Structure 1
Amino acid sequence: MNIIGANCLNEMQKLFAKKSTKLLLTSAVLIPVLTKLIVNNLFLTDWMALPSENINFTLLDLFINLFIPLFIFVSATDLFTGEGERGTLLQVRPVSRMELFLSKVTAISTFSLIILILEGLTVVASSAVFDKSFDLAAISSSLGAFAVSWFPLIVLTAFAVMLALIVNSSVLAITCMIVLYLIMMFIPYALPSSLYLVPSSYLDWYMQWLSDVSLRWILQTVTYLCSSFALFFSAGYYMFNRKEA
């Protein structure tokens, strides 16, 4: 575990060194603050009529459906496809391939969690400062929504890593991820029966937790997400393990 932890920290340092990561972390702070500032100080009557909690969930949707998936795609492409192109994917030092693979997946997932936590705390703080109708009771539901949103993002990370290992071109990898993600987002509109068969449909599953949640629904959803993660993770590791040094 010490090896995985140390290597995960190394992978996170790689990601943090990138401008795109720093930009996203900055956006997780600035966007909620600016949104609250604008909504509460300009004449945006339609927005001002909405409860502050609805605006918080709109901000969450923006990140879990757009910014964080884009971060995951870019990070997976860089840590796998990009390093494969540069010949630095498989390390010389005594780290097993499973440890290396797990470290990279964990690093991307951990950064997704950090972004969610940062945005969640900023949303709550900016609500307390700017919202005239701020309600302390809304804090738990807002932070809870941010917390449960991490699980589907882990599944999306495993999916992105698998795609990153299929192709050997960074440009092709990121293009395939974005195109497939858009297809997954829009296919339920064409085929409503496929709504809960694509991983992207669960990115907003926090909405289900805000209502009356049945035990059956919880078991079905968690089983599907765990099964999808296991499938994508296993397929990704299989391809990673077959790569030549």
Structure 2
Amino acid sequence: MNTIQANSYNELQKLLAKKVTKLFLFVAVALPVLTKLLVNKLFIIDWMALPAENINLTLLDLFVSLLLPLFIFIAATDLFTGEGERGTLFQVRPISRIELFLSKLLSIGGLVLVQLLLVWLFMLISSALFDKTFDFVAIASSLGAYLVSWVPLMVIVALAVLIALVINSSVLAISGMIVLYLAMVFIPYMVPNILYMLPTAYLDWYMHWLGDVSFRWIIQTVTYLCSAVVLFLSAGYYMFNRKEA
């Protein structure tokens, strides 16, 4: 466990050293503040009519459905496909492949969680400063929505890692991830029956927790998400373990 923790920190440092990671972190901080400034200090009529909570959830939806999946695709491509191309995928120091695989996965998932918390924190701060009707009671529910959103995003992480290990070209890997993601988003419009068979259908999972939640629904969705993560990670590790050092 100590090895995984230490190597996860190492993989995290690799990602943090990338300019694109710093850009995503900056957007997670700046976008909530800029949005609140525009809504509350400038006369934007269409937005002014919306309750503050709706604006907050709209921003969460933007990150969960667009920005964070894009970050996941870039990070997975860099840590797996990119290092495979550079010949640095397997480290010289003694560490098992399962530990290396899990540490890379945890570093991506950890940064996704950090970005979610940054968006929530700066949304909270900017709401307290600029929203005239800011409700402190909503803090707990808003935090819950952001934390719950991390679960389906981990399915996207597992799928992205699998694709990054199947394709040996960084350009093709990230292109394939984006095309597959867009296909999963738009195909249900043509074939509605397959909607809940796709992991993208659960990216708005937090919305279902804001109303009355049935126990049956919880069991079904948690079972699906956990099964998808296990399936993608098992296939991903199989591909990872087959690669030559």
Instruction: Determine the structure 1 residue equivalent to 2:194.
Output: 194
Does 2:113 match 1:141?
no
Structure 2 CA distance for aligned equivalents of residues 92 and 14 of structure 1: 16
Q: What amino acid is aligned across from residue 219 of structure 2 in structure 1? A: L
Q: Tell me the TM-score normalised to structure 2 length.
A: 0.99
Q: What amino acid is aligned across from residue 196 of structure 1 in structure 2? A: Y
Does 2:233 match 1:236?
no
Does 2:70 match 1:74?
no
Structure 1 residue runs of 5 or longer lacking an equivalent are none
Structure 2 CA distance for aligned equivalents of residues 103 and 192 of structure 1: 37
Instruction: Determine the structure 2 residue equivalent to 1:28.
Output: 28
Q: CA deviation at 1:41?
A: 1.1
Structure 2 residue runs of 5 or longer lacking an equivalent are none
Q: What amino acid is aligned across from residue 231 of structure 2 in structure 1? A: L
Q: CA deviation at 1:141?
A: 1.7
Structure 2 CA distance for aligned equivalents of residues 90 and 200 of structure 1: 31
Percent identity over the alignment?
A: 68
Structure 1 CA distance for aligned equivalents of residues 126 and 43 of structure 2: 18
Instruction: Determine the structure 2 residue equivalent to 1:61.
Output: 61
Q: Tell me the TM-score normalised to structure 1 length.
A: 0.99
Q: What amino acid is aligned across from residue 187 of structure 1 in structure 2? A: I
Instruction: Determine the structure 1 residue equivalent to 2:95.
Output: 95
Structure 2 CA distance for aligned equivalents of residues 213 and 188 of structure 1: 24
Structure 1 CA distance for aligned equivalents of residues 124 and 188 of structure 2: 32
Structure 2 CA distance for aligned equivalents of residues 46 and 242 of structure 1: 54
Moved more, 228-237 or 137-146: 137-146
Structure 2 CA distance for aligned equivalents of residues 151 and 18 of structure 1: 25
Q: What amino acid is aligned across from residue 91 of structure 1 in structure 2? A: Q
Deviations 1:180-218 (A, max 9, x none): 000011111111111111001101110000010000000
Q: Secondary structure at the match of 1:149?
A: helix
Q: Secondary structure at the match of 1:135?
A: coil
Q: Secondary structure at the match of 1:89?
A: coil
Structure 2 CA distance for aligned equivalents of residues 90 and 22 of structure 1: 25
Q: CA deviation at 1:137?
A: 1.6
Aligned residue pairs: how many? 245
Structure 1 CA distance for aligned equivalents of residues 159 and 111 of structure 2: 16
